Structure 1
Amino acid sequence: MTLLKCRQIGKNFGNRQVLNGVNIEINSGDRIGLVGLNGSGKSTLARIITGDLTPDQGAVTVYKKNLKIGYLEQDASYTTGPFQQNRSPELEENGVFLATAGRIGLKIPAGEEGMAKTALSSGERTKLAFSRVWASRPDLLILDEPTNHLDFQGAEQLVAELQKFNGAVLIISHDRWFLDQTVRKIYELTGGVAALYPGNYSYYREEKKRRFASQLHRYRNERKEEEMIRAEINRLREWSAKAHRESTKKSDIRMGAKEYYRVKAKKLDRQVKSKIKRLERLKETATPKPQAEPKLEFAFVAANRGRRIIEADGLSKAFGEKVLFQESRFFIQRGEKVGLIGPNGCGKTTLLRLFLGEEKPDTGNLWVSPTLNPGYLRQDLDDLDPSKSALEIMNLTAKEKLTAARTLLAHMGIDAGMATQPTGCLSLGERVRIKLVQLLLDEKDLLLLDEPTNHLDLPGRERLEEALSSYTGTIILVSHDRYLLEAVCNKLLVFSRAHAGAPVTVRRLEDGFAGYARREEEPAGRPAEPAPEEAEEMVIENRIAFILGQLNRLTPGDPEYLRLDEEFQELVKKKRELSRNRPQ
C-alpha cells in the first residue's frame, strides 16, 4: 500500500535552490535510505514530508487515512528538560516507551524518571528520543542520523528494533554499516532531484559507479557523433559554396554546366539543412555530462619525533560516585593509529581530555610527551565561535597561510562565500570540514578525533578514511563508524571488564578492530583458553606497560633506567618474534 508520494517538490532558501523537482514514493513496509552531500536537502525533505515545512513547488500526497509519522530529528539528542516530559500521559504508551528504552540499552532507575536529560550522555539522549518516537506507534518512522552518538551495542540494538517494526522507515544517515543492515532501497539527493537505487548502501555505491561509467560513455559517444556531424556540415557548406560559384560563372560556356552546378548546390543545401536538424535533435535528447563526486582533499602532515608518546600506569578516573575506569595500564607509540572502543558514557572523551591535560587523573600516572603538537577535533565543535567566519576563526595574517586556507577550504567544499559567513549559519558537516582545515594548516603529529565522521556526508567519510590511512603521525580515534575503524586503526584501547563485577579498565589490543570484532562475534560461553603464544604475548605486553610506567619516574643515565630500558628492548624484540611466528 502506498503511504505517500512527493511530486515535483521544490524548496528555496533565499537565492539558494535546495530541492528542484524531487519525486519520492513511500510504501508500507519500505526500508528507505536517504543520502546525499551535506546541504543537499535531506533534512529539508524530511521536514516537508512531516509537514513542518511547506514546499515552494510540488506537493506531498498522503494516501493512508490518518497517517501517523514519527520523526527523530538530527539534533534530538541535544534537547534538554525533564526526562518526565518525554513520557505520555497514556499508560499503554508509557509501557511501550519504557520497554523500548530498555531494549536499546537505556537504563532508567526506578523513581528517576524526572531526572534531567542533561545528566545523560549524547548516546543515551538519542536512545531516549528514539524510544519516545517509537512509543507513538507511527506508520512511517523517519530517523535523521540516528546512530551519530550511539555505541556499537546501541547501533546493533537499534537495528534489531527496526527489524521488528512493521511500518515504513525512512533513514537519513551517513553510517555505511547501519545503512547496509537496515535499508532495501536508497534515494540519493543530488542537484536538487532524487535518484532511486534498489538495494543497500554497498549495492548503491557499486551501482552508482556503474551508472556513472555508463552515462559518461554515452556522453562521450554523443559528443563524438556531434563533432562528426559538425564536420560534415562544414564540408557540405564548402562544397555548396563552390557549386554556387560555379553556377554563376559567366565564362563557362559548356552546355548545361551552370544548370548542373545549380542543381548540385540545391542538393548540398538540403543535405546541410538535414544535418543541422539532426544536430538539433541530438542536442534535445543529449545525455548530460555526469557530475563526479566532489574530491575532498585531506592531506595531513606529521612531524617525526620520539618513539613513546603516551604511557599510563594504574590510571583511574571518576566523576563523583561514577567510576569510569580503574587501574589501567597501556602505552601508545609514535605512528600508531589507535581506536577507542567502549559503550556510551564509559569515558572515551574523558580519556582524550586526560591526554590533552584538560582533565587530571584521580590516581595513577599518565605521561604525555611534552614535544607533542596535538590537534583535537571535538565531538560537539564547541570551540568554533558561531558568530565568526571560518577565516576569522583561523585568525591568519600571513598571506601565504591565508591563501593556503582558502585553497583547502575550497577543496573541502567551502566556497569563498561560505568562508566569510558566520559558522553558526553553516551545517554541522560544513563546520567539521572547517575544523579539519585548521588541523591541516598546522602540522600536527598527534590527531585526537572525537567522532570525526558524525556530520560528514558519504564521500567526505570515504576521503577522510583514505587520508587517515595514509597519515604518518599518531591518531587516537573515537568513532562508532565500523568501516572507518576497520580501515584506519591498527591498535585499540578497549574499555571493558575482565568478568562480571570486575572494575572497568582500559586495555590495549594489538590486532586492530577486525580482530576485536571477530572476538565479539564468537558465541557466548566459557571463553577459549588462549594459545601458549598468545598467553606469553599478553604477559609481555603487561610487563612492557609496567616498565614504561617505571621509566617515566626515572631519569636517563640512572642505572635502574638503563636496566629497565634494556629489558624493554628485549621484550619488544621477543614480542615482535612472537607476532611474526603467529599463524595468520
Structure 2
Amino acid sequence: MNNNRVILKITGLEKSYQSRKVLDHIQFEMKNGERIGLVGYNGTGKTTLANLIFGKLQPDNGTIELAKDLKVGYLLQSIDYQLNVIHESFTTSNNQDFFQIASELGLKKIYEWEQSRLSNLSGGEKLKLALSNVWASKPDLLILDEPTNHLDYKGIKWLTSEMKKFDGAVLIISHDRHFLDQIVTRVVEIENGKLHSYNGNYTDYRKEKQKKIETQRHYYEVQQRQIERIEEQLHQLKTWSEKAHSRSTKEEGYKEYHRVKAKKRDQQIKSKMKRLHQELSKKKVEKPLEEPKVKFEFDSNGKRGKRIIEAKNLSKSYPGRILFQNSQFYINHGERIGILGENGCGKTTLIKMILEEEPVTNGDLWKSQSLNIAYLSQDVADLPEDITPIEALGLYDREQIFKARTILANLGLKEQYITKPIGTLSLGERTRVKLVDILMKDYDVLILDEPTNHMDLPSREQLEKTLNEYTGTIILVSHDYYFLNKLCDKLIVFEGQQVKRLEMKPDEYLNKNHHEKDNKQETLMILENQIAAILGELSTLDQNDPKYQLLDQQFNELIKQKRNLIR
C-alpha cells in the first residue's frame, strides 16, 4: 500500500455526553505507514475517538471516511471488559498465526490448556490473547488503546519489535513515555475537544508544547500589559470628561467651552474603546491553559529497617499447575520493592497471599500483625457504575465528604465529574476514585498493582514524586518501566518457578545481559592491553634474564584467561 495514501479522513466530527462536548469539530487525516500517538488527559475523549473510528460509536455530527477494503484491528483499552476474548481468540480464522504469536508472547501451547487454567488468566495473559488475536487478523490499521497496560517486559519488547516491522498504520493511545518514544513519529493531542498535531516522538512533543505554551504566555502577558495601559488612559479620559461635564453646568461664561471639551473626551474614549475591541477581535491572545496540578498526599510514620514480611520455603500451586515453590524472601519497613515477572507467573496471587485472600500451599508466609495495609488493585471494574464517586466511597460525615471532594479536585476530577455516575467516567478517572480511599486514610504499607494503568501523564509524574517522599513501605507491581525504575531500589523476582529477593534496581535486572556483555568486553580489552605490554617487554629481554621467565609465566596466564573469557 502506498505510504502517501490517506487511509483515514475525519471531517467536522462532534461527540457529546450528557451535554458535555468531548470532541468539537475534529479534523484529522492519517496516511498509510504513519505511527501516531494519541495523547491527552483522562476523560478528554481519546477512547471515544478510537471507538468512533472503529465504528463502535456513532458521531453526533461529522464524517469518518476509511479507505476502501481497509482492515482495522482494535485492541480495546481494558481487556477485563472483553468477556468473550478467549472464545474469540480460539475461534479466529487465523488459528495457526494466533497460536504462533501467543507462543512468542510467552503463552506456550495454549491449545492444550485446560478450562480451569483458561478461567484463571491474569490481566497480562488476557491482554496477550487479545493482542495475538488482533495481530493474527493481519490488519492494515492498528488502533491500540493502552497496549502496555498489564503487559510484562517480554511482551513490551515483542510489541515494540513487531510495531517497527509492521507495514500498516498505527494509532496508539498510551501514557507509557518510554514506549511512545520508541514507536511514534507524530503525536496528536486532544485538548478542550480539539486536536493539535506535533511532529516527532513523545519527548519532541513535550518540548514543542512547552515552547508553544511559553510563547503564548509571553504574547498574552504583552497584550495584557497593553490592555492595562489603554484602560489606564481610558480611566484618565473618563475622569477628565466627568470634570468637564461637571464644570459645564457650574462655571458661568465657560459652559460652552467645557461642553466642547467633555464631548471631545467622550469621542476619544469611544475611539480608544473601538480600537481596543477591534484589536482584540483580530489578535486576541488567549491565556494558555495551565497543565493540571495533580496533588497526592500520604502520611506514614514508623521505624525503617524492621522486618514486616518474610517467606520461608513458600509454595503456591493449583491442580495441575505450579506457580512457584521453595521460595525465600523478606521485606523491611520503609523499603521500596518492585515485583517483576512474566504475565501469569503469580505476581497478583502473591499479593493476595500477603493480604490473606489466597491460602499458602506449602511453607510459611509471615507478616507483622500490626501492619495497616492499603491495596490498590489493577481492576477498575469493581466500582458500581450507577452511583457517584462520593457515594461509592461510602462517606456520610460532612468533613470527610469535603476532604474527599478536595482530593478528587486535586486529582483532576472537578465538580461536574464528581456528581455524575461512575459509568460516565473514563478508566483513568475511575482509578483516581479508587486512589481517594487510600489518600483518605493513614497506611504504613502501600501495595500497588499496576497503579498507573489508565492514568494520564501528569498524574503519573506527580504520583512518582509523592511516592518518593512517602516514608512507609511500597510493594509495587508495574510494567511502566520509567515509573518502576524511579521508585524501586530492590526487587522480588519470579524466575524458574521461584520467588527471590534481589538487591538491585529494575534497570540493572532488566538489562543485566547487556551489562554482563559490556563488562566482558571491558575485561577482554584490559587483558589484551596487558598481553601487549608484556610482549613488548619480552622482546627487549634475553631469554636467560631471570625477569624473562617471570614475564613469560604471566603471559601464559593472561592467554589462558582470555581463552576462558571468549569461549
Alignment TM class, shorter chain as reference: 0.7 to 0.9
In 2, are the aligned partners of 1:78 and 1:125 still within 8 Å (CA)? no
Post-superposition shift, 1:212? 1.8
Residue among 63, 70, 75 paired with 1:72:
75
State the partner residue of 1:122.
123
In 2, are the aligned partners of 1:212 and 1:290 still within 8 Å (CA)? yes
In 1, are the aligned partners of 2:85 and 2:130 still within 8 Å (CA)? no
1:280 maps to 2:277: yes
Post-superposition shift, 1:313? 1.6
Change (3 A) 1:382 1:111: closer
Structure 2: distance between partners of 1:366 and 1:95: 42
Letter in 2 for 1:69: V
Structure 1: distance between partners of 2:358 and 2:520: 36
Change (3 A) 1:303 1:389: farther
Structure 2: distance between partners of 1:109 and 1:526: 39
Q: Deviations over 1:315-352 (max 9, x none)?
A: 11112222112222111111111110110011111111
Q: Deviations over 1:86-109 (max 9, x none)?
A: 35675xx44433333333333234
1:202 maps to 2:200: no
In 2, are the aligned partners of 1:317 and 1:324 still within 8 Å (CA)? yes
Structure 1: distance between partners of 2:359 and 2:508: 32
Letter in 1 for 2:184: V
Alignment of 1:514-529 (within 5 A): 514-522=507-515
Q: Deviations over 1:150-174 (max 9, x none)?
A: 1011011011111111111000112
What SS does structure 2 have at the residue aligned with 1:43? helix
In 2, are the aligned partners of 1:78 and 1:122 still within 8 Å (CA)? no
Structure 1: distance between partners of 2:56 and 2:380: 27
State the partner residue of 1:3.
7
Post-superposition shift, 1:116? 8.1
Post-superposition shift, 1:12? 1.0
Alignment of 1:248-259 (within 5 A): 251-252=252-253
What SS does structure 2 have at the residue aligned with 1:59? strand
Higher mean displacement: 419-428 or 372-381? 419-428
Structure 1: distance between partners of 2:125 and 2:342: 10
In 1, are the aligned partners of 2:348 and 2:449 still within 8 Å (CA)? yes
What SS does structure 2 have at the residue aligned with 1:272? helix
Alignment of 1:295-306 (within 5 A): 295-305=293-303
In 2, are the aligned partners of 1:432 and 1:456 still within 8 Å (CA)? yes
Q: Deviations over 1:438-457 (max 9, x none)?
A: 11111010001111111211
What SS does structure 2 have at the residue aligned with 1:338? strand
Change (3 A) 1:388 1:138: same
Q: Deviations over 1:268-323 (max 9, x none)?
A: 55543332122102321211111212222111111315711111122111122221
State the partner residue of 1:157.
158
In structure 2, stretches of 5+ residues that fail to align are 524-567
Alignment of 1:425-440 (within 5 A): 425-440=424-439
In 2, are the aligned partners of 1:303 and 1:443 still within 8 Å (CA)? no
Alignment of 1:155-194 (within 5 A): 155-194=156-195
Structure 2: distance between partners of 1:437 and 1:480: 22
Post-superposition shift, 1:146? 1.1
Instruction: Compute the TM-score of the two structures, normalised by the length of structure 1.
Output: 0.81
Change (3 A) 1:520 1:121: farther
Letter in 1 for 2:214: A
Q: Deviations over 1:341-393 (max 9, x none)?
A: 11001111111111111122222222101110001111114654445543334
Post-superposition shift, 1:206? 2.4
Structure 2: distance between partners of 1:16 and 1:279: 33
Structure 2: distance between partners of 1:247 and 1:525: 92
Letter in 2 for 1:367: W
What SS does structure 1 have at the residue aligned with 2:453? coil
Higher mean displacement: 4-13 or 155-164? 4-13
State the partner residue of 1:449.
448
Q: Deviations over 1:112-151 (max 9, x none)?
A: 5999853433222222222222223222111111111110
In 2, are the aligned partners of 1:233 and 1:272 still within 8 Å (CA)? yes
Change (3 A) 1:113 1:303: closer
Letter in 1 for 2:294: L
State the partner residue of 2:287.
289
State the partner residue of 2:233.
232
Residue among 34, 38, 44 paired with 1:34:
38
Letter in 1 for 2:289: Q
Structure 2: distance between partners of 1:130 and 1:115: 22
State the partner residue of 2:556.
none
Higher mean displacement: 209-218 or 365-374? 209-218
Structure 2: distance between partners of 1:347 and 1:113: 18
In 2, are the aligned partners of 1:100 and 1:131 still within 8 Å (CA)? yes
Letter in 1 for 2:225: K
What SS does structure 2 have at the residue aligned with 1:54? coil
Structure 2: distance between partners of 1:296 and 1:242: 52
Higher mean displacement: 437-446 or 306-315? 306-315
Structure 1: distance between partners of 2:442 and 2:185: 43
Q: Deviations over 1:44-67 (max 9, x none)?
A: 1112112222211222234x3322
Structure 1: distance between partners of 2:459 and 2:165: 32
State the partner residue of 1:405.
404
State the partner residue of 1:572.
none
Letter in 1 for 2:504: D
Letter in 2 for 1:486: N
In 2, are the aligned partners of 1:117 and 1:125 still within 8 Å (CA)? no
What SS does structure 1 have at the residue aligned with 2:119? helix
In 2, are the aligned partners of 1:18 and 1:40 still within 8 Å (CA)? yes
Structure 1: distance between partners of 2:18 and 2:382: 29
Higher mean displacement: 193-202 or 510-519? 510-519
State the partner residue of 1:106.
107
In 2, are the aligned partners of 1:491 and 1:509 still within 8 Å (CA)? yes
Higher mean displacement: 142-151 or 359-368? 359-368
What SS does structure 1 have at the residue aligned with 2:167? coil
In 2, are the aligned partners of 1:82 and 1:117 still within 8 Å (CA)? no
Higher mean displacement: 175-184 or 509-518? 509-518
In 2, are the aligned partners of 1:81 and 1:116 still within 8 Å (CA)? no
In 2, are the aligned partners of 1:325 and 1:506 still within 8 Å (CA)? yes
1:508 maps to 2:501: yes
Q: How many residues align structurally? A: 517
Structure 2: distance between partners of 1:67 and 1:88: 22
Structure 1: distance between partners of 2:168 and 2:478: 30
Higher mean displacement: 476-485 or 124-133? 124-133
What SS does structure 1 have at the residue aligned with 2:198? strand
State the partner residue of 1:496.
495
Post-superposition shift, 1:201? 1.6
What SS does structure 2 have at the residue aligned with 1:329? strand
Letter in 2 for 1:229: I
1:22 maps to 2:22: no
State the partner residue of 2:561.
none
In 1, are the aligned partners of 2:372 and 2:444 still within 8 Å (CA)? yes
State the partner residue of 2:322.
323
Change (3 A) 1:420 1:309: same
Change (3 A) 1:61 1:454: same
1:395 maps to 2:394: yes
Post-superposition shift, 1:77? 5.3
Structure 1: distance between partners of 2:92 and 2:325: 42
What SS does structure 1 have at the residue aligned with 2:325? strand
Change (3 A) 1:248 1:133: same
Q: Deviations over 1:17-76 (max 9, x none)?
A: 1111222221111100111111111111112112222211222234x3322222111133
